[in-house]
């Protein structure tokens, strides 16, 4: 089954239904979108010799042409390689070469940053050449097997080189069904607002919205501007968006007191949402929040915390559940394993592993990493978690971020949760630093709220009142901002490097 069929069918059955918006305007209806994608697919085949199975990259910020380009690639039987537009040119070339892409669609602002090598062809989105593709004869969706490659998803790479998760048509279809069955229902005309990158989470929700005749709306800013999202909800109504927790925080700051009735659902995930922030978001947005926990290797689908669970403020376990990532998606088998890969009981912490129809086939051109990550037929997520008696999963940290101090395991997230509630703390990230006596010590890297000057002893007293003594940071480092990757995830590795570099400088008597 070719995932592009959903568009082909909607184009026939509901040609007049709104399909793509840009800013405040409706720019394409389903008939037009399907027709344009089919013509571009014809051009891919005729002009660019794209054969079924070929990889076609898209390097662009979110834009309306993104939607039809993805579908054109699928209709032609090829696979998309959406690349985060904020990456470094050397990362563009790494991904293009690694994927063996024969063609890349690039937005005009990035055209001079994408290196051309070998037979790679570049087409600038919305250029005269791009427009000429529409003169080609339209083609019908090329039949694909469910296991054929549809999306080569390059992981965000908080460590090492990005890896390409092989996502098949079946994986994408299953992820779409999971969304519609367990995260949110979509009716014709409902809006998905792409404020988060379409190369990642937001784009993965595109197909479910096409299947149900939703409207995919691209912000005029091509990205995330909190005020623009609020205006868009007012303009479009029944608007949903996928947002990383940092985006939700900023949206809450902008929305305080505003009318939020134009929002349908804010789906958050991709990183830890601190309970204090979630409660604040609930206060502002009401029962419009849903959480997903997933990773590129099983897109958006390991567990979900539903809208009704987040809204159940009178439930005795409400607070605990808000701190969890919810329960497994219906078709997923999710377990917590020990270091020897044996299943653990509820209450015991270990690595989260899972199996189900959304799990990738493997990593592209990386048999060793594929074998390791998928050992025993299960995806090893690299996340540490624990199930409670009721089947709710709580995420601790990435296995590599766990701190072992004086023989005790300390999860940075737990310490961050506490410090994050201090009014003078804008952002915080907790890491382990090697220490001769303790093995590792807990260090909190704190960004103070603007105009405040909170000191180490005040934060220490704050922690002492709230967490076990041994978990509290032994050291505080005040910095201007946290290093983050292009998806807004904190780069703990860089914090650890920063700490060891500053220690070295101190030892050598060099002032830093």
Provide the binding-site residues for ligand AMP, judged by CB under 6 A.
155-156, 269-272, 291, 293-296, 325, 381, 383, 395, 398
C-beta of 296: minimal distance to ligand AMP in Å? 4
Query: Quick one: 18 or 272, whose CB is closer to ligand AMP?
Result: 272
Query: Quick one: 170 or 492, whose CB is closer to ligand AMP?
Result: 492
Query: Quick one: 15 or 271, whose CB is closer to ligand AMP?
Result: 271
Query: Quick one: 211 or 395, whose CB is closer to ligand AMP?
Result: 395
Query: Quick one: 189 or 223, whose CB is closer to ligand AMP?
Result: 223
DSSP 469: G
C-beta of 155: minimal distance to ligand AMP in Å? 5
| Residue ranges of E strands in 96-213 | 103-106, 121-124, 149-154, 164-168, 191-193
C-beta of 35: minimal distance to ligand AMP in Å? 33
Q: Which of 374, 331, 381 is nearest to 353 (CA)?
A: 381
SS3 call for 116: coil
Question: Rounded to whole angstroms, how far apart are CA atoms 59 and 112?
Answer: 12
Question: Rounded to whole angstroms, how far apart are CA atoms 471 and 417?
Answer: 12
Question: Rounded to whole angstroms, how far apart are CA atoms 1 and 148?
Answer: 9
**Token output for 512:** 């830093």
C-beta of 294: minimal distance to ligand AMP in Å? 6
C-beta of 257: minimal distance to ligand AMP in Å? 27
Query: Quick one: 11 or 269, whose CB is closer to ligand AMP?
Result: 269
DSSP 193: E
The answer to whether the CB of 267 falls within 8 A of the CB of 243 is yes
Report the relative pairing of strands 403-405 and 408-410 from DSSP bridges.
Answer: antiparallel
Query: Quick one: 91 or 460, whose CB is closer to ligand AMP?
Result: 91
Query: Quick one: 219 or 296, whose CB is closer to ligand AMP?
Result: 296
Query: Quick one: 295 or 358, whose CB is closer to ligand AMP?
Result: 295
Distances (CA, A) of 448 to 53, 360, 452, 476: 50, 40, 6, 11
C-beta of 395: minimal distance to ligand AMP in Å? 5
C-beta of 309: minimal distance to ligand AMP in Å? 13
Side-chain half-sphere CA neighbours of 42 within 13 A:
14
C-beta of 385: minimal distance to ligand AMP in Å? 9
Q: Is 111 exposed, middle or buried (0-12, 13-18, 19+ CB in 10 A)?
A: middle
- DSSP code per residue over 89-110: HHHHHHHHHHHT-SEEEE-GGG
DSSP 285: H
The answer to whether the CB of 75 falls within 8 A of the CB of 45 is no
C-beta of 121: minimal distance to ligand AMP in Å? 29
């Amino acid at each position: 089954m070719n995932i592009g069929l959903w568009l082909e069918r909607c184009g026939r059955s509901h040609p007049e239904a709104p399909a793509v918006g840009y800013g405040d305007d409706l720019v394409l209806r389903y008939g037009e979108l399907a027709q344009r994608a089919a013509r571009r697919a014809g051009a891919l085949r005729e002009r660019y010799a794209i054969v079924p199975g070929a990889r076609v990259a898209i390097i662009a910020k979110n834009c309306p042409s993104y939607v039809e380009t993805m579908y054109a690639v699928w209709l032609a039987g090829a696979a998309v390689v959406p690349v985060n537009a904020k990456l470094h040119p050397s990362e563009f070339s790494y991904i293009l070469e690694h994927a063996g892409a024969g063609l890349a669609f690039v937005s005009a602002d990035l055209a001079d940053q994408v290196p051309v090598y070998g037979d790679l062809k570049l087409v600038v989105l919305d250029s005269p050449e791009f427009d000429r593709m529409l003169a080609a004869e339209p083609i019908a969706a090329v039949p694909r097997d469910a296991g054929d490659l549809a999306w080569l998803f390059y992981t965000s790479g908080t460590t090492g080189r990005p890896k390409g998760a092989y996502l098949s048509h079946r994986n994408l279809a299953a992820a779409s069904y999971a969304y519609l069955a367990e995260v949110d229902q979509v009716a014709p005309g409902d809006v998905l607002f792409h404020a988060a990158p379409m190369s990642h989470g937001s784009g993965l929700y595109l197909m479910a919205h096409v299947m149900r005749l939703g409207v995919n709306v691209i912000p005029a800013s091509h990205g995330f501007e909190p005020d623009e999202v609020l205006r868009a909800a007012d303009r479009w109504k029944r608007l949903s968006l996928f947002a990383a927790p940092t985006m939700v925080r900023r949206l809450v700051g902008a929305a305080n007191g505003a009318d939020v009735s134009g929002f349908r659902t804010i789906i958050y995930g991709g990183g830890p949402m601190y309970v204090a922030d979630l409660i604040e978001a609930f206060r502002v947005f009401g029962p419009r929040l849903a959480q997903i926990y997933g990773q590129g290797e099983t897109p958006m689908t390991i567990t979900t915390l539903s809208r009704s669970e987040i809204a159940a403020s009178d439930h005795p376990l409400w607070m605990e559940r808000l701190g969890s990532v919810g329960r497994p998606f219906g078709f997923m088998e999710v377990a917590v394993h020990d270091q020897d890969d044996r299943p653990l009981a509820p209450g015991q912490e270990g690595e989260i592993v899972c199996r189900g129809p959304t799990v990738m086939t493997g990593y592209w051109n990386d048999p060793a990493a594929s074998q390791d990550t998928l050992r025993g037929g299960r995806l090893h997520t690299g996340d540490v978690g624990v199930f409670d008696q009721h089947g709710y999963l709580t995420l601790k940290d990435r296995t590599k971020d766990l701190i072992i101090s004086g023989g005790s395991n300390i999860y940075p997230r737990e310490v961050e949760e506490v410090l994050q509630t201090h009014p003078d703390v804008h952002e915080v990230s907790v890491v382990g630093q090697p220490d001769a006596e303790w093995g590792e010590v807990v260090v909190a890297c704190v960004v103070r709220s603007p105009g405040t000057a909170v000191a180490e002893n005040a934060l220490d007293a704050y922690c002492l009142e709230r967490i076990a003594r041994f978990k509290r940071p032994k050291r505080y480092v005040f910095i201007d901002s946290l290093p983050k990757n292009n998806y807004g995830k904190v780069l703990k590795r860089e914090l650890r490097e920063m700490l060891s570099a500053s220690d070295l400088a101190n030892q050598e008597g060099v002032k830093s």
